[in-house]
């Protein structure tokens, strides 16, 4: 049994009952009190249907009002929520339902068909048809035990079967606290949520809202115009995005600058091109580059804007109270290892490794001031003639070439070198694109062993739901396009 | 074993090595890096002298540079620090050294005599003569275990023998976090410490400094002019005081108003007269009234300035993540019970009571909105003819009478009623003071059974180091003055 804290939503209702907790799609809003009433009623309804402490349920939902309500309901019951990616196929869903020992599925009109296809044995409820209960007699959780498992999210897993990352209440709590210790906290903070809530990046904002007692505005999907409108007209102070979203926000903005009340553009999902940082700076957008993953309950390292140029490409330092080391000599590239109370204790139904630090599977190095530079995924490294080649480095050169919008690099078998890099580009104008020019550009910028052996154009790169390039699927994606 | 976090000072050095951690008496300053070097060197020196994990040492110091350095040194060793009140007599010190099983005492030039008088068997070191060690080979604590005991502080105890309140790292950590969730947090926050550091109120600011990564300015003693100078000229944003200090700050201020960068006057030690609140409001002083005690690792409930008048006399609501209830029907007076990860697990060498909530020994009630009003100490209640009389209520009426500066009320035996209230007043001008007028004033304001049976003037009220009136010592103090 771990440290116990009062249920965080009850606590906010005690402190700020009438404060706006959520602004939802279709112009709905919920105060903390209203959110509590709904969540408790759904929780009581769950209990009446046999869902109890320790029961595992799955949520297959969109970014909709029911998502935060059901999340809190689960905590009132003491159940465990599996957050299903709503872009999965029926087969993938079936795998996760089975792997996580799910007893009930909650879904919506749009997704009920895929859910039904995924399972015929597990009961499925449409949240629209679910009867909450207002019975006072149903006893609900009053204290959250920080050591208890609250959620499971499947790693987007670029290879092999996805694994369910278990998050305790404490993981989510400390993640929110570590972010507040880093970014500061003001009572008029307002976060905009435009990432999927089934992912840790979006989910963590639901947690921040209730732990900080601040307003969170939820968008169904990322939409640049709506994001800007929320920032300019509705007092949004914090937004969390990935690079491609930031680029679209900059395009949409034109020559305007961000208002001064806007305090933080939290940027995840890999290093950001210098051009984007410059454009952000010119537009008064304070960009905080981060590093994190499902296993760390969202960001675990952050670079503040004052270092954006001085430490270009860095993800900063591990938040307090987290630790981060690189498994290599000082300044050398090695696997990134992390530790702290926001780091998951392990995967569901897999042996818990006996180790102090979690091995992230990412490669990086720290400079002499301790700033982290993420180099690449361990699994994506191309080994060519005994040299390590990091696809991200080549991609970064490629995207700096005019007209190249996105780039993905992976290895192919090579008789002479073992493996050799091949590039896949999304370009502005395929008709005028000349791959010889790009190869020549690479020859100027990169050591010979890193030169792409071939370049393909492609209309879009395969990405997972976190928007990370699935490099191992680049060849497959090209084949599919050519069919 | 509890949750572990990286040593908080090491973490700040990683994040903000060159930021000012402390501004000290005699215009000295220490960056986080400098504070770390000193603290680690003292810690290494302690280990070389046989102080190790679990060793209990006592600190008998003033508000001086060595206090924070030694506190952090203790955490690097994993030892336990007993914070001794530097106003104690040799006999009182002897009791605490013995009761807490102290192995070593650290003190200074000014206090070494009283320490030597207190013990001849426990080694005493003068911090000025102590040899730190810079040996890298001495291994120091890297992670703090939140469940481990870090400090012990004796309750000022108005009756009986004082007891040592044990604080874990987690108690101090959650206290700092709960305050940040309440007050917010900005990277340019600067706290002024003008309370004794051996007390939880002052000590908690050392903790906040290192957990938040903000600057703390330490004063040897409270001095109104210096406090104002620090606020006006050195960017201080937060000060923690008791009522009498706030009154002096207002007197000293004259007709000026506080600068806008000043964000928080944290006010402890009992309810504040409405006049003082009005004066504060007029002077742009944002007063946060608090309720707390050693056992709660400093404030556990706080009233924000926006409610200062609407909820006059209230200490607000329990901070997140704490719970507070009153052991009585809604709206009725009862004992205040608290719970949360900042609440001490118990007293050293005393049985740990098997209870969810800590019984504070304070009486209070909650209004219909859940705001707490502290009424009085359970032990100070006067029972007169079957009625409960709360001295604080009578004192509040007495101090609202012109010319009455301070008031203390206690019970004396009464043949007819069992007990009856008697008042002790500190007045501006004893020569012109007429107790008949004050009695008549009480008769207008109070029910008959609450009328003081007698009124004495006295030059000063007996108070403990937290500035609370020692009501049981009022008669004794009067006797002493008359000798």
Lowest mean pLDDT among A63-67, B57-61, B315-319, B383-387: B383-387
Q: Do A6 and B321 touch (CB under 8 A)?
A: yes
Instruction: Give the one of B6, B185, B341 whose C-beta lies nearest to A3's C-beta.
Output: B341
B130-186 pLDDT per residue, tens: 999 988 789 999 999 999 999 999 986 555 688 999 999 999 999 999 999 999 999
State how far the alpha carbon of B228 is from the alpha carbons of A172, B188, B263, B287, B466, in Å: 41, 18, 14, 15, 22
Q: Do B320 and A4 touch (CB under 8 A)?
A: no
pLDDT for B286 equals 96
Averaged pLDDT, B78-98: 95
State how far the alpha carbon of B370 is from the alpha carbons of B301, B364, B366, in Å: 12, 12, 5
Q: Which residues of B82-97 are buried (b: 16+ CB within 10 A; e: fewer)?
A: bbbbbebeeebbbbbb
ipTM, two decimals, is 0.90
Return the higher-pLDDT residue of A83 and A271: A83
Lowest mean pLDDT among A99-108, B45-54, B133-142, B288-297: B133-142
CA distance A314 to A366: 9
Which one of A4, A171, A321, A341 makes the best mutation probe of the B interface by having the most chain B beta carbons within 10 Å?
Answer: A321
Closest alpha carbon within chain A to B6: A321
CA distance A125 to A131: 10
List, edge to edge, every strand of the sheet that includes A418-427. A404-414, A418-427, A454-457
Chain B residues inside the 8 Å CB shell of A11: 320-321
State how far the alpha carbon of A295 is from the alpha carbons of A111, A194, A364, in Å: 27, 21, 17
State how far the alpha carbon of A165 is from the alpha carbons of A82, A464, B4, B436, in Å: 10, 17, 20, 75
Return the higher-pLDDT residue of B137 and B257: B257
**Closest chain B C-alpha to A447 CA, distance in angstroms:** 34
Closest alpha carbon within chain B to A340: B5
Residue A309 contacts residue A142 (beta carbons within 8 Å): no
Q: Do B170 and A3 touch (CB under 8 A)?
A: yes
Tokens 């993540």, residue?
B321
pLDDT for B392 equals 87
Chain B residues inside the 8 Å CB shell of A185: 180-181, 184-185
Strands of A197-353 (E only): list them: 215-218, 238-242, 264-268, 287-293, 298-303, 317-318, 323-327, 334-339
Tokens 């204290």, residue?
A143
Checking if the pLDDT of B61 tops 90, the result is: yes
Checking if the pLDDT of A32 tops 90, the result is: yes
A350-376 pLDDT per residue, tens: 988 888 899 999 999 999 999 999 998
Quick check: B54 contacting A, CB < 8 Å? no
pLDDT for B466 equals 67
Q: Do A370 and B14 touch (CB under 8 A)?
A: yes
Helix, strand and coil percent figures for chain A, each rounded to 5: 35, 30, 40
- What's the pLDDT band for A465 if we cut at 50, 70, 90? low
Checking if the pLDDT of B439 tops 60, the result is: yes
pLDDT for B160 equals 66
- What's the pLDDT band for A160 if we cut at 50, 70, 90? low
In terms of Cβ atoms closer than 10 Å to its own Cβ (0-12, 13-18, 19+), residue A61 is: buried
Instruction: Give the one of B15, B181, B340 whose C-beta lies nearest to A212's C-beta.
Output: B181
- Output the furthest CA–CA distance in chain A (Å, rounded): 74
pLDDT winner (highest mean) among A264-278, A371-385, B96-110: B96-110
Instruction: Give the one of A14, A185, A317 whose C-beta lies nearest to B317's C-beta.
Output: A14
pLDDT for B275 equals 84
pLDDT for A354 equals 81
Helix (H, G, I), strand (E, B) or coil at B145: strand
Q: Do A181 and B212 touch (CB under 8 A)?
A: yes
pLDDT for B158 equals 52
pLDDT for B157 equals 56
Which one of B321, B342, B368 makes the best mutation probe of the A interface by having the most chain A beta carbons within 10 Å?
Answer: B321
**Closest chain B C-alpha to A471 CA, distance in angstroms:** 34
Chain A residues inside the 8 Å CB shell of B186: 184, 186
Q: Do A186 and B181 touch (CB under 8 A)?
A: no
Q: Label the pairing between strands A80-83 and A149-154.
A: parallel
CA distance A235 to A261: 7
Averaged pLDDT, A398-406: 91
Closest alpha carbon within chain B to A304: B15
**Closest chain B C-alpha to A176 CA, distance in angstroms:** 11
Checking if the pLDDT of A435 tops 80, the result is: yes
Averaged pLDDT, A432-446: 92
Checking if the pLDDT of A37 tops 60, the result is: yes
- What's the pLDDT band for B38 if we cut at 50, 70, 90? very high
Under 8 Å CB pairs connecting chains A and B tally to 77
B299-329 pLDDT per residue, tens: 999 998 989 899 988 999 999 999 999 999 9
The residues, any chain, with a CB within 8 Å of residue A140's CB and separated by 6 or more, are A40, A43, A44, A47, A76, A77
Checking if the pLDDT of B94 tops 80, the result is: yes
A87-133 pLDDT per residue, tens: 899 999 999 999 999 999 999 999 999 999 999 999 999 999 999 99
Closest alpha carbon within chain A to B320: A11
**Closest chain B C-alpha to A318 CA, distance in angstroms:** 8
Q: Do A14 and B180 touch (CB under 8 A)?
A: no
Q: Do A320 and B12 touch (CB under 8 A)?
A: yes
Kindly report the average pLDDT of chain B as a whole number: 94
pLDDT for A378 equals 87
CA distance B476 to B458: 11
Q: Do A184 and B181 touch (CB under 8 A)?
A: no
Checking if the pLDDT of A155 tops 90, the result is: no
pLDDT for B272 equals 80
CA distance B376 to B413: 20
In terms of Cβ atoms closer than 10 Å to its own Cβ (0-12, 13-18, 19+), residue B479 is: exposed
All structural domains of chain B = 4-290+339-360 (3.40.50.12780), 381-482 (3.30.300.30)
pLDDT for A466 equals 67
Kindly report the average pLDDT of chain A as a whole number: 94
Q: Do B187 and A184 touch (CB under 8 A)?
A: yes
pLDDT above 70 as % of chain A: 98
Element (H, E) at B249: helix B243-253
B207-255 pLDDT per residue, tens: 999 999 999 999 999 999 999 999 999 999 999 998 889 999 999 998 8
Chain B residues inside the 8 Å CB shell of A211: 181, 320
Of B302, B274, B295, nearest to B466 by C-alpha is B295
- What's the pLDDT band for B1 if we cut at 50, 70, 90? low
Residue A230 contacts residue A192 (beta carbons within 8 Å): yes
């Amino acid at each position: 049994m771990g440290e116990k804290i009062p249920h965080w939503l009850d606590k906010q209702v005690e402190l700020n009952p009438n404060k706006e907790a959520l602004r939802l799609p279709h112009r709905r809003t919920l105060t903390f009190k209203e959110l509590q009433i709904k969540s408790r009623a759904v929780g009581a309804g769950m209990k009446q249907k046999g869902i109890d402490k320790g029961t595992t349920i799955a949520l297959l939902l969109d970014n909709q009002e029911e998502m935060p309500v059901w999340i809190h309901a689960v905590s009132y019951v003491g159940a465990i929520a599996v957050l299903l990616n709503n872009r999965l196929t029926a087969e993938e869903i079936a795998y996760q339902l089975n792997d996580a020992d799910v007893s009930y599925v909650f879904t919506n009109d749009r997704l009920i068909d895929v859910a039904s296809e995924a399972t015929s044995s597990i009961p499925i409820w449409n949240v629209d048809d679910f009867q909450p209960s207002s019975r006072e007699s149903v006893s609900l959780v009053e204290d959250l035990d920080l050591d208890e498992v609250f959620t499971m999210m499947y790693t987007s897993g670029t290879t092999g079967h996805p694994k369910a990352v278990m998050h305790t209440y404490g993981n989510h709590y400390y993640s929110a606290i570590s972010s507040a210790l880093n970014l500061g906290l003001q009572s008029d903070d307002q976060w905009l949520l435009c990432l999927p809530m089934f992912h840790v990046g979006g989910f963590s904002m639901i947690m921040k809202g209730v732990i900080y007692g601040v307003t969170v505005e939820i968008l169904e999907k990322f939409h640049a115009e709506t994001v800007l409108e929320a920032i300019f007209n509705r007092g949004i102070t914090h937004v969390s995005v990935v690079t491609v979203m930031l680029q679209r926000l900059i395009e949409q903005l034109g020559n305007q600058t961000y208002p001064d009340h806007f305090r933080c553009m939290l940027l995840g999902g890999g290093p950001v091109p210098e051009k984007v940082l410059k454009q952000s700076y010119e537009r008064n957008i304070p960009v905080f580059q981060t590093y994190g993953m499902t296993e760390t309950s969202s960001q675990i390292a952050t670079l503040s804007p004052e270092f954006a140029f001085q430490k270009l490409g860095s993800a900063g330092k591990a938040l307090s109270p987290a630790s981060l080391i690189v498994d290599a000599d000082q300044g050398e590239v090695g696997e990134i290892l992390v530790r702290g109370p926001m780091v998951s204790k392990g995967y569901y139904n897999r042996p818990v490794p006996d180790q102090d630090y979690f091995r992230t599977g990412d490669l990086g190095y720290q400079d002499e001031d301790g700033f982290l530079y993420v180099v690449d995924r361990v699994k994506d490294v191309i080994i060519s003639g005994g040299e390590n080649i990091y696809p991200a480095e080549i991609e970064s050169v490629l995207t700096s070439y005019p007209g190249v919008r996105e780039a993905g690099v992976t290895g192919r078998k090579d008789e002479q070198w073992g493996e050799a890099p091949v590039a896949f580009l999304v370009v502005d104008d395929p008709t005028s694109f000349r791959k010889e020019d790009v190869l020549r550009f690479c020859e100027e910028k990169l050591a010979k062993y890193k030169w792409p052996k071939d370049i393909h154009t492609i209309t879009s790169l395969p990405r997972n739901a976190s928007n990370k390039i699935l490099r191992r699927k680049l060849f497959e994606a090209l084949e599919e396009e050519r069919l």
